[in-house]
Amino acid sequence: MSKDTGPGAPRVRYAQQLGALLWKDLAIELRTRDTIAAMLVFGVLSLTVFNFAFELRAESLVLVAPGVLWVAVLFAGTLGLGRAYSHERERGSLEGLLLCPVDHSAIYLAKLLANLAYLALAEAVLLPVFDAFFGVEALQPGVVAVILLGTVGFASVGTVFGAMAVQTRAREVMLPILLLPVLVPVIIGSVKATGILLDGRPWSDTWVWVNLLIVFDVVYVAASFALYEYVLEDWG
Amino acid sequence: MQAGMQKKTACGLTATDVLGAAAFVLLGVSVYMALLYAPTELIQGEPQRIFYMHLPMILAAYLGFLIVFVCGVMYLWKRTMGYDIAARSAAELGVFFTTLVIISGGLWGQAVWGTFWQWEPRLTFTFILWLIFVAYLMLRSAAQDKERVARYAAVLGIIGFLDIPLVFASVYLWRGIHPEPAGMPRAIAMTLFVSMAAFLALFAYLYVLRVRWDRAKDRIEEMYAELEEEHQA
């Protein structure tokens, strides 16, 4: 295994493992559509509930729109991240994976990518619905970029916490309790940047918040990557 | 360190006793200084005296969270239960002191601003910190199996601690930066210094007691397990 290319090289094998692990999660989702369906329905329900909750008091729905969008994304996302591990646990599939000669970091990356895919898909549906419900123009490149940056931070921490939460007694309750306080910088940064863009202000006004999101993403993708190993130990 | 086996000083006191006595004497002195020695602040008046317990308590809480982080890293590295006990006790004390800080801050705010709560950066920051470490304690109580609790708690302690600068930056950017008071008269600085020493000594004393209590508890559980095995054999 001294060569760096070819089918047996370590880097190539890692990529193959990653691909196989990711495909496993996506294939399950494609066949059952459990997680995505739950996320979408819950996300749209949140938007609906907010519409009623704010309609009578807020002078303009546009003022509260960025917050509404982000709470809907967070709630739907938290639901999805919780689901991501429940079938692993129910069927004991992760235990099997841990027995395979697979680098554990590949398991984390595959889970992270799968979670990112679910979240991105849910957001892709929620955004147009949000535009229609609240009469704003959120489907623009800047807002999409901010949402993706926020989603990376959200998913990186969520992938680790989801694995821990599913192993506790409280399970579904535990995940949001662990996740939401840690995500405060993401929530503040994303809501602020989204608000600035929805107000039609220039992209340059958002740089403080975008930088905050980038720093969060870098710190937590790296930290989760390093710490995931410890969560997987003695799984089951 | 096993209960009943600690070294005694010349007059029959343990080091912990001395620490405890020092903490309470210092607390007494700091209360005297805060209430009678320090001058009344011109703008805020008497309520400003809460400051002399408020700031030292948040420093004690920060110290607790720092210990949680360091012991979390050490636990994952060395896998000795002692680090977990050290982290657990520090988290409890950190949450305890943060709770007192939020309450004392609220009373201070009630007197000076006229409201118990404001979404002001420092308050918001402290409150988020409190939520993170309350979640830490909840995770500890919800997970089964000692070793797993220790491992998950270490992971959460590290992730939570890494979040502190980010939360700090975000809430300050969110609400704008408030000016810090520049320069303090000598009497105020002295009072603050004594209060800090008092609360740090109190923290250390409670911490030693808490760790010892936890170790004793673990030891009792071990002894029960041993007895059970003997009984079955």
Q: Quote the CA–CA distance of A63 and A202 in Å, as a whole number.
A: 17
Predicted confidence at residue A58, as pLDDT, reads: 59
Interface list for chain B against chain A, based on CB atoms closer than 8 Å:
76, 128, 131-132, 135, 138-139, 142-144, 147-148, 151-152, 154-156, 158-160, 162-163, 166-167, 169-171, 173-174
Q: Which of B135, B154, B159 sits opposite A177 (nearest CB)?
A: B135
pLDDT at B4 over 50: no
Total number of residues shown for chain B: 233
- Pairwise CB contact (< 8 Å): A164 & B159: no
Q: State percent of chain B over pLDDT 70.
A: 91
Nearest to B91 by CA among B123, B62, B125: B62
pLDDT at B130 over 90: yes
Q: Which of A164, A170, A192 sits opposite B174 (nearest CB)?
A: A192
Q: Distance from B56 to chain A by nearest Cα, in Å? A: 24
Mean pLDDT, to the nearest integer, of B24-50?
A: 83
Predicted confidence at residue A196, as pLDDT, reads: 92
Under 8 Å between Cβ of A131 and A139: yes
Q: Which residues of A touch B151 (CB under 8 A)?
A: 230-231, 233-234
Tokens 């494609």 correspond to: A30
pLDDT (tens digit per residue) in A100-148: 888 888 889 999 999 999 999 999 999 999 988 888 888 889 999 999 9
Q: Residues A222, A226, A231, A232: is their CA dihedral positive or negative?
A: positive
Predicted confidence at residue A125, as pLDDT, reads: 92
Q: With an 8 Å Cβ cutoff, is A231 touching chain B?
A: yes
Q: What is the 3-state secondary structure (H, E, C) of B12-55?
A: CCEHHHHHHHHHHHHHHHHHHHHHHHCCCECCCEHHHHHHHHHH
Q: Read off the pLDDT band of B9 (50, 70, 90).
A: low
pLDDT at B100 over 80: yes
Q: With an 8 Å Cβ cutoff, is A227 touching chain B?
A: yes
Q: With an 8 Å Cβ cutoff, is A160 touching chain B?
A: yes
Q: What is the 3-state secondary structure (H, E, C) of chain B?
A: CCCCCCCECCCCCEHHHHHHHHHHHHHHHHHHHHHHHCCCECCCEHHHHHHHHHHHHHHHHHHHHHHHHHHHHHHHHHCCHHHHHHHHHHHHHHHHHHHHHHHHHHHHHHHHCCCCCCCCHHHHHHHHHHHHHHHHHHHHHHECCHHHHHHHHHHHHHHHHHHHHHHHHHHHHHHCCCCCCCCCCHHHHHHHHHHHHHHHHHHHHHHHHHHHHHHHHHHHHHHHHHHHHHHHC
Nearest to B154 by CA among B215, B93, B62, B68: B68
Q: Which residues of B touch A192 (CB under 8 A)?
A: 173-174
Q: Is A50 exposed, middle or buried (0-12, 13-18, 19+ CB in 10 A)?
A: buried
Q: How confident is the prediction along chain A (236 residues), in pLDDT tens digits per residue?
A: 445 566 667 788 888 989 998 998 888 888 888 888 989 999 999 999 888 887 656 567 777 888 899 999 999 999 988 888 887 888 888 888 888 888 888 889 999 999 999 999 999 999 999 988 888 888 889 999 999 999 999 999 999 999 999 888 877 789 999 999 999 999 999 999 999 998 888 888 889 999 999 999 999 999 999 999 899 887 76
Give the range among A70-74, A84-88, B28-32, B194-198 with minimum mean pLDDT: A84-88
Predicted confidence at residue A75, as pLDDT, reads: 92
Under 8 Å between Cβ of A231 and A164: yes
φ/ψ bin of B80: left (φ > 0), alpha (ψ from -120 to 50), beta (otherwise)? beta
* ipTM summary value: 0.86
